Structure 1
Amino acid sequence: MAENENGAAPHGTEGTQPSQQPQLRMHILTQYVRDLSFENVLAQRGTGGEVQPDIQVAVNLDAKKRALDHQFEVACKINVTSRNKGGEEPLFVLEMDYVGIFHIEGVSEDQLHPFLLIECPRQIFPFIRRIVSDVTRDGGFPPLNLENIDFVQLYRQEIARRQAQSQTASA
């Protein structure tokens, strides 16, 4: 350690060690709708009357490495089905495959999988929410504002499902 002329360490350097951990860097390079489908079943049937929608939302996540270093593709597939309460006929069906391309550095290999399936979808979710709201409104229904999705819980459920499936397969 360097000392000044009085034999003391320079101000601000006592006990400091250079950081050995790489800095986390994440950039959204692009994001886009890969596939989008909206079907207004209610309008096609031509039925009117009282409508009390019961909305079901399913979310699927997928991530994969791209050919370029540190680039990953994260796809969020949203399936929204609205049915009239007490009925089986759908009012509308919305399916969307939304993709974000990310540049990620500084995430350890053991943390990369959860990072891709938790933090990346969290970053693009506001855009997904806006598109779903606009499409349902433009499709003739009140805008559907998706509730926040707990991507940590979704990740844990998927891990538990895979573990249960592997235990069943090995038994």
Structure 2
Amino acid sequence: MAEQENGANTGSTAPNGADTAAENAPMANVLSQYVKDLSFENPNAPAVFQKNGQPQIDVQFNIGANQVGDGVHEVILKIEAKATVEGQTAFLVDLSYAGLFGLRNVPEEHVRPFMLAEAPRILFPFARRVLADAVRDGGFAPLMLEPIDFNALFQQQAQEQGFNLQASGADIGQA
């Protein structure tokens, strides 16, 4: 091992040559992504296709997270969309899109912000595509959802629930 000019060795190296600092660094990985549940209903077909009005679309989101193993968390992004035309249901779509995330050396106070803000941000583009394809395959124009700032939603909800992000040490980066 080479010594520096002042004689101090500033790096710590494990016996196999791996840097111990890198081994202890916080790490989050996407292990898997999948459709957990998908339901599409077109209850008034074919009559709804004869309607000329502009559809009214209501979209609701919900995020769930739970630990499923040592350092492994499942995050579920649930999206429900309902379209009505002239008071008649055009379609209903219910998607639960999930991801498995492996966390290593992540401080406990950072797990909740990651699971409820960053993980949904990672999953959203894929869930958006699945939803758009399901609506298109149901005979309608694809439903292209606008991007969502999950970080801002998490911070808003945390403030409403009295969860102090600064006191917890949570540092949520801007997307």
Please classify the TM superposition score into its range, dividing by the shorter chain length: 0.7 to 0.9
Matched-pair contact (CA < 8 Å) for 2:48–2:90: no
Pairwise CA distance, 1:80: 0.7
Matched position secondary structure for 1:131: helix
Pairwise CA distance, 1:108: 1.1
Aligned to 2:107: 108
Pairwise CA distance, 1:25: 1.7
2:33 to 22, 31, 46: 31
- Gapped regions of structure 2 (runs ≥ 5): 13-19, 163-175
Indicate whether 1:73 and 2:70 are aligned. Answer: no
Structure 1, residues 41-98: CA drift from partner, whole Å, max 9, x if none?
341545613130121211100111113x1100101110011122xx433211110111
- The amino acid across from 2:40 in the alignment is F
Question: Structure 1 residues 35, 107: CA separation in 2 closer, same or farther (over 3 Å shift)?
Answer: same
Aligned to 1:125: 124
- Gapped regions of structure 1 (runs ≥ 5): 164-171
Indicate whether 1:53 and 2:55 are aligned. Answer: yes
Question: Structure 1 residues 94, 161: CA separation in 2 closer, same or farther (over 3 Å shift)?
Answer: farther
Aligned to 1:9: 6
Matched position secondary structure for 2:57: strand
Worse-superposed segment, 131-140 or 46-55: 46-55
| RMSD of aligned residue pairs (Cα, Å) | 2.8
Structure 1, residues 106-127: CA drift from partner, whole Å, max 9, x if none?
3211111011111111111111
**Using the alignment, how far apart are the partners of 2:59 and 2:160 within structure 1?**
19
**Using the alignment, how far apart are the partners of 2:59 and 2:90 within structure 1?**
14
